[in-house]
Structure 1
Amino acid sequence: MNTLNNHENTNILDLPNEMLFAIMNKLSKINVLYSLVDVNRQFDQLIIDSFYIHDLDLTRKSLSGDISPIDKQTLDRIICGKILPRINDKVNKLTVEPLSIERIFHAVDYAQLYSLSLVNFSQEILLRHIIDNAVIHRLMTEQITCLNIQVSDKIRSDFSVKNHSNILSLILFIRENLNDLTFSHWFIGLGLTFFMYKLSSTSCVSSTLTKLSIFVNTFDDCLFLLDRRLESLSTLIINIVQIFDTSANIDNTKLPQLKCFSLASYQRTCSYDSRIVPLLRRMPNIEELTLFLSVIRMESTYIDGIHLHDEILIHVPRLDKLLFSITTILYNINAKIELPSNDDIQRGFIEKEIYQADSYVINDPSK
């Protein structure tokens, strides 16, 4: 009976702080701030602790991931009126959306802020804030070293494409000390429709940027970013919509500064051997390499451990970590090529000391 009473009298505040932190980290920070601040001293100490509040996401997200604004009363009375003045000097990272950005940045100063995420912005509103909002402009020119920009527009137009290039160039121009940039621009229902390689040779130049995560449309956009305009770039994480051959000259200049490279493309490509492999061979000092690709090969065989070793790995001697998921679709119409079995592929990985690799083979004679 005593045991039952003990369970019934258990209070959430009896849990250790580490467990309470773990619970709060599973919840939206907006909900935690709105619901638990000023409930009692212990909750206030936990919530306003810099360990919890240093990375502050002031957006609401639905179960499907859609972002919605904070309701005006909560934003004005609770967040900006009561909470931000108590925590602003502890905030290092901040995430905001367009409808609340002005109120949040005019409520208090953020002296310790170095990382800013601007999510769900249209390009027109984003440009207006970067150019005309004095607080945002000052933060981006004087404080921010890590910037995450997520642009989402409903329509595509020539004006939209021009604005896209303006945004990226402007960010790199006004923020001379920016070293980490994540930039994505999507048109709802259409996907990315921006061609970076069409920009002028003086666009998107930076001497300080060391890490770039970006969505682009073509493989030429990737080459554009690696043509030494970003001279300090050591990490490039790039998602490409289309990889295809063009008439552009192949550049064999080495990229010695690049230490980490991640390439993902979810459309099938026939240009793996002609475009991707030559690019990877230009990275002699690469230490981490990630490839997510779906490759079509004609009159050839699978991309297996032997291929990866002989065509790529021997050209990147400093490679320490390789993560890959490569689907090979073969069309051997005229050539009679004896394809390896799945066991052969696995043995090839082991022989080349690629141990944590899985594979499977599906043969369809009709294709």
Structure 2
Amino acid sequence: MNKVKPRVLLLCSIIAIGNNRLEQLALEKCQAIDLTCNYFQLQDQSLFQRRFYSHVMPRIFNNIQSLTLYIQHLPDIVTFAEKNSDRIFPNLTHLKIMLCKRNPKTWTSYILGFGIYSIFRHCPLVSTVPNLIRLTGSSSGKILSSFCSSTLIPSIISFELDDDCVLPHVSNDYSLFFPQSIQLSHIQITLCYVDDCICLLKQLGPQLYSLIVSIVYVDGTTTCIISKIPLILCPNLKQLTMKIYRNFVDYKKCIVPLLQRLSNVEYLTLLLAIGETGESNAQLLNLPDELILIIMNKVKPKVLLLCSIITIGNSRLEELALDKCHSIDLTFDYFQSSHEIFIQRFYSHVMPRISNCIRSLILNIEHLPKMISFAENECNGFLPNLTHLKIILNKQSRETGTSYGLGIHLYNVLHVNPLFSFIPQFVRVKNFVGGKSLFNLRYSSFMRSIVWFELDDDCILPNVFNDDRLFFPQSIQLTHIRITLYEFPDCVHLLNQMGTQICSFSVTILCVDRSEVDIISKIRSISCLYLKQFAMTIYRNIIEYERCIVPLLQRLSNVEYLTLLLAIGFTGNRPDHFIDGFDLKKDIISYMHHLRQFNFHIRSILQNAPRMNIDTIRQSFIKHQQSVDCSIEYFNNNYGQCHIYSLPFIGTRLDFISNRFPLFDTNNTFSMVTILILYDDVKPFENVFFEHLVRALPHLKSLEIVNELEQQEKTISITNKLEYAHLTSLMLFKIHMDYAEQLLCRTNLPSLNELIIHNNILLTIINQNQQQARENCFRVKTLRTSHPLDGLVNVVRNFFPSGSYIKYPSVG
């Protein structure tokens, strides 16, 4: 039934034919009826028309909640209501009336109206509006006027008229719009005169919540009408959109007083053409500051506004724009974007005017050399009032600007050890231009004023190579840091250097599997008297948790807010048991006497893990004053893992999740997870698992599957394909072929940018040549395979966009 378009044909074919089951199913599709289809142009148009109103409408009129129709249908609808339903549709709340601007033979659309107001521009820069149709005096206009006063209107809450159709001027004795519309609160219409808009607001203002109005004429408004503006009361009007494309000069006389009466509006949209040749010359400058600021706030990105206004010679606009310069975001531009041309002007004309105003700066790493160079040449090396600096990686498509999820240079693409995480999202910029820029930034005077420094979580800060191993040696005011480091000793060195001044420290560490000989003595020398907030993220398995991590945490005794996202162990090393509440209390909490809040997700992995009851883990948290949950999973490879996590769940990543993990709980605990690794050697992930996954993780961006077991409950074809709307990265190495077919052939992946896949799996998908797989693969900007595709590159090029394939060295 869902495949039958238009739906009215389905209803005409099933309703009242004697099959109760089909009729009942069809009636469930009757809440929204669309009569803008071309079914009256069919060969049997009269048959369908008669049958719809004689057999279908009597069965469905009580069900209809939303009705969209061409204006030509109005007489039939009104006639039916008068004869069959006491002149009303009792549950109809949403009504939309459209013009049928189509060629009756080809059904192609017309753009211009039948009654064009003017097709010549008598005055320069004065807009005409040829697409509007004025129905006054026509049969359609009479139908519409009669309908707006009919008894069909009382139940309507939302009324929408085709934007190109001008509602006929009110001609009744009281100049009332929709006189019987006691519930009408949402209106979208086009009016001929601003007088009509004023009258409508005066009449319906107390009940309106949303008004979208297009007005054809403004000039020539009478004094009598303007005197009604102070009488307008719209206490509930929250959303207003006003469109006037035909130039007018009565802006201050009419529009400004009208807008000033709508004091409770929260969402305002104005599309206006102000001014005309002659004595009146209304321009943008005639707008009050408040409206100019509203317009400025609509310009995105803000840097484009600054480039368009700063140093153009208008001091008033420039002063208003300068008020928007406290926070600058330079992350919008990417290579080959239409914005690149503005960047030169930004540094040459805008920055000299705003450098003293900037307090917060967010920029792509590519901007660092230019920004540092500007500061050295123009500002004695630093921006005097800049306190917040955030640097992000430009992980975007060169052509489209869409984001990548995986690093440019992957460390590893296979899980060599069981349950051992690698972090393909990380980018190590050490030997690249970005790395040199970061290295120079750390030692430059640009950091002198910085209080808060934040580096993209996926960007690893280059190692320190100077003799003193100093991080940010000129950062005398730096108290808040968020960075990613390559090795655990780097974290220790930073805390030793800057511990006495840091108040907040959020660190992600890639490796804790080897340590310097004297690392313990360096940990003991750490002093962080003012450190109140500390967050540590280590998703790559920690080998030396008890030797390194625990002693470090015990030195941070003044921390009040603690966050730990850790993966601990994977071989026979200590600890020799799953981390539980007793461990957290003994090793961490008992050392932090000022601790107020402790958020955590800790995944501990054991080889030859002893079987234990999950309630044993839960009981270890009984004395903790917070909500905690856990999960234990055992695998056929003799490994086991235990997740313990505080609630609400604060992580965005889950690694090695099996069928036994409570991923689909009723509380949507993990709904904010964006990175997921699925692993199971006990049971396959069936089709229903992926159906639940779509709903449980609506923001999922990166997915890897490690499962070589064949699905037992295969679904070859499904009516409604699954869709992972935000999934950009997909990794399919150690899998059974079923999972590639599940995700590439039977799932829509509209945002897929990166695909990492085993050669054999890829070639099988290409040979199957299914349409959904072709659509998904054609979106891929980066394709990596397990082994070089010797001699098969042309085959891949026929299935993927040109330039997407990146050769990857053999991994065995």
Range into which the TM-score falls when normalised by the shorter chain: 0.7 to 0.9
Do the aligned residues in 1 keep the contact of 2:536 with 2:565 (CA within 8 Å)?
yes
Do the aligned residues in 2 keep the contact of 1:151 with 1:185 (CA within 8 Å)?
no
387, 397, 404: which is aligned to 1:145? Answer: 387
Shift of the 167–77 alpha-carbon distance from structure 1 to 2, 3 Å rule, reads closer
| Match runs of 1:226-265 below 5 Å | 226-229=495-498, 231-249=500-518, 250=520, 251=522, 252-253=524-525, 254-265=527-538
1:183 is aligned to 2:439: no
Per-residue CA distance 1:180-236 (angstroms, 9 max, x = gap): 1112486xxxx64x5424443145223311100112211122112111246311111
1:306 is aligned to 2:582: yes
Please report how far the alpha carbon of residue 93 of structure 1 lies from its aligned counterpart in structure 2 after TM superposition.
Answer: 1.3
* 3-state secondary structure, aligned to 1:207: coil
Do the aligned residues in 2 keep the contact of 1:269 with 1:294 (CA within 8 Å)?
yes
Q: Distance in 2 between matches of 1:269 and 1:363?
A: 20
Do the aligned residues in 1 keep the contact of 2:306 with 2:321 (CA within 8 Å)?
no
1:348 is aligned to 2:620: yes
User: In structure 2, what is the equivalent of residue 8 of structure 1?
Assistant: 187
Identity, in percent, stands at: 22
User: In structure 2, what is the equivalent of residue 363 of structure 1?
Assistant: 634
Q: Distance in 1 between matches of 2:265 and 2:549?
A: 47
Q: Distance in 2 between matches of 1:220 and 1:47?
A: 53
Q: Distance in 2 between matches of 1:92 and 1:11?
A: 34
What TM-score, normalized by structure 2, do the two folds share?
0.36
Q: Distance in 1 between matches of 2:318 and 2:540?
A: 45
| Match runs of 1:282-321 below 5 Å | 282-296=555-569, 298=572, 300-321=576-597
Q: Distance in 2 between matches of 1:136 and 1:11?
A: 50
* 3-state secondary structure, aligned to 2:486: strand
User: In structure 2, what is the equivalent of residue 204 of structure 1?
Assistant: 472
Q: Distance in 2 between matches of 1:114 and 1:18?
A: 32
1:86 is aligned to 2:320: yes
User: In structure 1, what is the equivalent of residue 483 of structure 2?
Assistant: 214
Do the aligned residues in 1 keep the contact of 2:438 with 2:462 (CA within 8 Å)?
no
Please report how far the alpha carbon of residue 356 of structure 1 lies from its aligned counterpart in structure 2 after TM superposition.
Answer: 1.1
Q: Distance in 2 between matches of 1:302 and 1:84?
A: 62
User: In structure 1, what is the equivalent of residue 767 of structure 2?
Assistant: none
Moved more, 286-295 or 8-17: 8-17
Q: Which has the higher contact order (CA 8 A, sep 6+)?
A: 1
Q: Distance in 2 between matches of 1:136 and 1:151?
A: 26
Shift of the 113–197 alpha-carbon distance from structure 1 to 2, 3 Å rule, reads closer
Please report how far the alpha carbon of residue 245 of structure 1 lies from its aligned counterpart in structure 2 after TM superposition.
Answer: 2.3
Q: Distance in 2 between matches of 1:185 and 1:131?
A: 25
Q: Distance in 1 between matches of 2:557 and 2:587?
A: 13
Do the aligned residues in 1 keep the contact of 2:372 with 2:381 (CA within 8 Å)?
no
AA partner of residue 109 (structure 1)? I
Structure number with greater Rg is 2
17, 32, 48: which is aligned to 2:293? Answer: 48
User: In structure 1, what is the equivalent of residue 257 of structure 2?
Assistant: none
Q: Distance in 2 between matches of 1:294 and 1:151?
A: 25
Q: Which has the higher helix share?
A: 1
Do the aligned residues in 2 keep the contact of 1:142 with 1:175 (CA within 8 Å)?
no
Do the aligned residues in 2 keep the contact of 1:90 with 1:112 (CA within 8 Å)?
no
439, 442, 445: which is aligned to 1:168? Answer: 442
Q: Distance in 2 between matches of 1:228 and 1:185?
A: 22
AA partner of residue 178 (structure 1)? I
288, 291, 302: which is aligned to 1:58? Answer: 302
Shift of the 79–350 alpha-carbon distance from structure 1 to 2, 3 Å rule, reads farther
Do the aligned residues in 2 keep the contact of 1:89 with 1:110 (CA within 8 Å)?
no
Please report how far the alpha carbon of residue 116 of structure 1 lies from its aligned counterpart in structure 2 after TM superposition.
Answer: 1.1
Please report how far the alpha carbon of residue 151 of structure 1 lies from its aligned counterpart in structure 2 after TM superposition.
Answer: 4.4
Q: Distance in 2 between matches of 1:152 and 1:136?
A: 26
Do the aligned residues in 2 keep the contact of 1:241 with 1:265 (CA within 8 Å)?
yes
User: In structure 2, what is the equivalent of residue 62 of structure 1?
Assistant: none
Q: Distance in 1 between matches of 2:369 and 2:454?
A: 16
Do the aligned residues in 2 keep the contact of 1:121 with 1:151 (CA within 8 Å)?
yes
Number of residue equivalences: 325
Please report how far the alpha carbon of residue 148 of structure 1 lies from its aligned counterpart in structure 2 after TM superposition.
Answer: 1.1
Shift of the 288–12 alpha-carbon distance from structure 1 to 2, 3 Å rule, reads farther
AA partner of residue 126 (structure 1)? L
* 3-state secondary structure, aligned to 2:449: coil
1:324 is aligned to 2:600: yes
Per-residue CA distance 1:1-26 (angstroms, 9 max, x = gap): 233866335425942678745x99xx
Shift of the 356–140 alpha-carbon distance from structure 1 to 2, 3 Å rule, reads farther
Q: Distance in 2 between matches of 1:158 and 1:7?
A: 59
AA partner of residue 635 (structure 2)? D
Q: Distance in 1 between matches of 2:457 and 2:627?
A: 35
Moved more, 291-300 or 159-168: 159-168
Q: Distance in 1 between matches of 2:448 and 2:325?
A: 22
Please report how far the alpha carbon of residue 240 of structure 1 lies from its aligned counterpart in structure 2 after TM superposition.
Answer: 1.5
User: In structure 2, what is the equivalent of residue 114 of structure 1?
Assistant: 359
Do the aligned residues in 1 keep the contact of 2:478 with 2:501 (CA within 8 Å)?
yes
| Match runs of 1:12-27 below 5 Å | 12=212, 14-15=237-238, 20=266
Q: Distance in 1 between matches of 2:212 and 2:502?
A: 48
AA partner of residue 8 (structure 1)? I
Q: Distance in 2 between matches of 1:102 and 1:230?
A: 39
User: In structure 2, what is the equivalent of residue 127 of structure 1?
Assistant: 369
528, 546, 550: which is aligned to 1:277? Answer: 550
Please report how far the alpha carbon of residue 314 of structure 1 lies from its aligned counterpart in structure 2 after TM superposition.
Answer: 0.4
Q: Distance in 2 between matches of 1:109 and 1:195?
A: 31
Q: Distance in 1 between matches of 2:636 and 2:564?
A: 28
